[in-house]
Amino acid sequence: MPLRRTFLKNILAATAITSLSVRATSAKSLSAGRSETSQNGLTILFQGDSITDGNRTRNNDWNHVMGHGYAYTISSKLWYEHPDKGFHFLNRGVSGNQVMDLAQRWQADAIDLEPDWLSILVGINDTEAFIKGDTQRTVEHFETNYRALLKETKEKLPNVRLVLGEPFILPVGRVKDKWELYQLEVGKRQEVVKRLATEFKAIHVPFQSAFNEALAKAPAEYWIWDGIHPMPAGHELMARLWLEKTGAELGI
Calpha distance 5→144 (Å, rounded):
65
Catalytic machinery residues: 50, 226, 229
Which DSSP state fits 151? H
For residues 95 and 54, the answer to whether their CB atoms sit within 8 Å is no
Classify 111 as helix, strand or coil: helix
Q: What interhelical angle do 179-199 and 139-156 show, nearest 10? A: 30
Cα gap 185→19, rounded to integer Å = 51
Extended strands (E) in 71-155: 88-91, 117-121
